[in-house]
Amino acid sequence: MSLPARHHKSESGFTLVELLVAIALLATVAAMVFGSLITTNRVIESGRDLSAREQAARRILRVMADDISLSKQDGGYQWVGVNGFFAGQPADTLAVLAVNDGAGGTAARESDMIRVVYTRERDRLIRFAKKNLYGLTNESINQVELADNVKAFNLRYFDAQSRVWVDEWPGANKIPKALLIEITFDRPDMDPWTLREWVTIEAS
């Protein structure tokens, strides 16, 4: 008596359902891998942008520190710090007599010194430099925009005689021993952040 024939499932290929499942799995894995790569690249680019912006801000502070640390006092051009505000945020102004051009040049031939003024105008930090102290026109004034997106520009001064920090410096024939510079940046693509620089003034 013969046994009934057995029906064997073909193992030579995949069914359509199995192929669709495999393709879906591969697509999911690929999406995860590429998504991770894109996220990693964005984090790296964001880190580079932040580092570049901080380096640029540090260069601005370095220019200011160079002007301030070697500044002098003169009867006609006193060392003055004015406490100001704009839109509820610090917008101070500082005027010093510097021995050289903090932007990298040397003092003008017409004078051994240059008059430098730092101030915040709206969201910009501006540096004015009067290279010819005896000039009667504005042609001798050099204006440079050091930074934009500046939310606050705050300066504080250390009075060595009274041993206190003050918000203004009246220029009463003396120079503060030290100065604290604070610049707060507020860019549309990031949270506000503040950089600080302590400057010791050699002439004081």
pLDDT at 109 over 50: no
Cross-strand pairs, 130 = 115, 141
Check the CA dihedral 52-59-89-159 and report its sign.
positive
pTM of the model: 0.70
Does pLDDT of 89 surpass 90? yes
Tokens (6 digits) for 202:
């050699």
Q: What is the distance between the alpha carbons of residues 69 and 197, in angstroms, rounded to a whole number?
A: 12
Under 8 Å CB-to-CB from 147, ≥6 apart: which residues?
56, 57, 60, 124, 125, 183, 185
> Which tens digits make up the pLDDT trace of 166-204?
999 987 778 999 999 999 999 887 889 899 999 999 766
- 125 against 57, higher pLDDT: 125
Give 128-144 pLDDT, tens digit per residue. 998 766 655 666 788 99
Lookup result for tokens 């046994």: 3
Enter the tokens of residue 144: 């440079």
Residue 24's pLDDT is 83
What band does 119 get if pLDDT is binned at 50, 70 and 90?
A: very high
The contacts of residue 204 (CB under 8 Å, 6+ apart) are 160, 174, 175, 176, 177
Please tell me the predicted confidence (pLDDT) of residue 182.
96
Q: Residues of 136-167 as b/e, b for ≥16 C-beta within 10 angstroms? A: eeeebebeeebbebbbbbbbbbbeeeeeeeee
CB 140 within 8 A of CB 113: no
| Strand ranges in 131-186 using DSSP code E only, listed in sequence order | 141-147, 150-159, 164-166, 178-185
Write down the mean pLDDT value for the chain. Answer: 81
Q: Write down the pLDDT at residue 35.
A: 74
Q: Can you read off the two tokens belonging to residue 137?
A: 């026109």
